[in-house]
Amino acid sequence: MAFFEVDGLTKRFGGLTAVDDVSFSVDEGQVYTIIGPNGAGKTTIFNLVSLIYAPTAGTVRFRERDLTSLAPHRVASLGIGRTFQNIELFEHATVLQNLLIGRHAHAHRNFMADLFFLPSVRRAELAHREQVEKVIDFLDLQAHRDSLVAGLPYGVRKVVELARALCAQPRLLLLDEPSSGLNVEETDDMAYWIQDIREQLGITVLMVEHDMSLVSRVSDRVLAVNYGRVLAEGTAAEVQSHPDVVAAYLGA
């Protein structure tokens, strides 16, 4: 019984086959990384898993549940969180508000209660705030709590993006190129955080990554894709030495 399983996943955009019969499975508590050259279809796989795209064929199963027929906004309440490659934060809101929106999957849906700000709403708000503060402590974002996202430097935004995904208390976290645009120190921090996420928070991580040192440092298993197809799968060392992967991506 796999925690997260993708079977025969295929996506065609008109004549272009972006993802071609990709299958892999992730066990609970693992850090699973997908690598491959640009345009290989990695982010498309992510978008398929988080139901932003509908697959042309194949299934996505999370904890034995088939996701493919669900509406996109249901993914969060099932326990899947994600970050975006190009940072999709809410620019005109503060960091705190961004993180609180991250709690939406756990929030009540009663707008009438909200209109009157009933005591139950107040209690819920304070509870959400506590959870968000835990994430802020975890990622050291205290200094930026009340800053508007629009004015923050790139490195901080990446962390806010991660924090927002964590606020939803996901079981499975999808990280799309967590270290892109980060310098060496920030990448180091990111590596520690990914390990902490797995060990302290017990969250399974599925990520796309280019930085091979980060990949070998944190990953339990690695999947290499190219042209939408699987090239190799195994531990980081196995995949890095696989001849097809070397030819297509890593170089001799």
Partner 1 sequence: MRFIFKTRYAQDLQVFKHSGSVFWNGLLAVLLVAAPFVVPDYYRTQLVFIFIYSIVGFGLMLLSGFTGQVSIGHAAFLAIGAYAQAILQGLGWPFFLSAPAAMALGAAAGLLIGLPALRLTGIYLAIATLAFGFVVEEVLARWESVTGGNSGLMVPAPRLVLQPMTDPTAFYFLCLACVVAVALAVFNLLRSPTGRAFIAIRDSEISAQSMGVNLAAYKTLSFALSAAITALAGCLYAHQIRFISPEQFTLLQSIEFLLMIAIGGMGSLHGAVLGAIFVISLPELIGAMKDVMPPGLAQQPGLKPLVFGTIMILVVIYEPMGLYGRWLKIRTYFSLFPLYRRGMFQRQKAYTKSERVH
Partner 2 sequence: MTDILQLVVAGVAIGCIYALIALGFVLIYKATEVVNFAQGDLMMLGAFVAFTFASIWGLSFWLAFPLAIATMAAFGAAFDRVVLRPIIGQPQVAAVLVTIAAGFVIRGAASMVPGWGTDTHALKAPFSDQVVRAGGVSVSSDHLAIIGLTAALCVVLYVFFKRTRVGIAMQASSQNQLAAYYMGIPVRRINTLIWSISAGVAAFAAVLLAPITFVHANMGFIGLKAFPAAVLGGFGSIPGAIVGGLIIGLVESFAGFYLPEGFKDVAAYVVVLVVLIVRPSGIFAEQRRKKV
Query: Nearest approach, Cβ of 19 to partner 1 (angstroms)?
Result: 19
DSSP H stretches of helix in 105-247? 111-116, 119-139, 154-167, 184-199, 212-218, 236-241, 243-245
Complete DSSP assignment for 174-186 = EEESTTTT--HHH
When the beta carbons of 80 and 245 are compared against partner 1, the nearer one is 80
Contact of residue 123 among partner 1, partner 2, none (CB under 5-8 Å per partner type): none
Give the integer Cα–Cα distance in Å for 175 and 252: 28
Torsion of CA 121, 167, 55, 242, to 10 degrees: -170
- Which residue's CB is nearer to partner 2, number 148 or number 250? 148
User: Could you tell me the smallest distance in angstroms from the CB atom of residue 55 to partner 1?
Assistant: 17
Binding partner selected for residue 43 from partner 1, partner 2, none, CB under the kind-specific 5 to 8 Å limit: partner 2
Q: Is 52 near partner 2 (CB under 8 A)?
A: yes
Q: How far, in Å, CA of 36 to CA of 227, rounded?
A: 9
Minimum CB distance to partner 2 smaller for 13 or for 192: 13
CA dist 50 and 52 (Å) reads 6
Residues of this chain that bind partner 1 (CB under 8 A): 50, 52, 71-77, 81-82, 84, 88-93, 96-97, 100-105, 107-109, 111, 114-117, 121-122, 124-126, 128-130, 133, 150-151, 164, 168
Contact pick of 10, 23, 85, 147 for partner 2 (by CB under 8 A): 85
Quick one: 14 or 251, whose CB is closer to partner 2? 14
Query: Can you list the pairs that 234-243 forms with residues at least 24 positions away whose Cβ atoms lie under 8 Å?
Result: 236/33, 239/35, 240/212, 240/216
* Nearest in space to 106 (alpha carbons), one of 163, 171, 170, 168: 168
Rounded least distance, CB 150 to partner 2, Å: 11
**Contact residues: partner 2, CB under 8 A:** 43, 47, 52, 84-86, 88
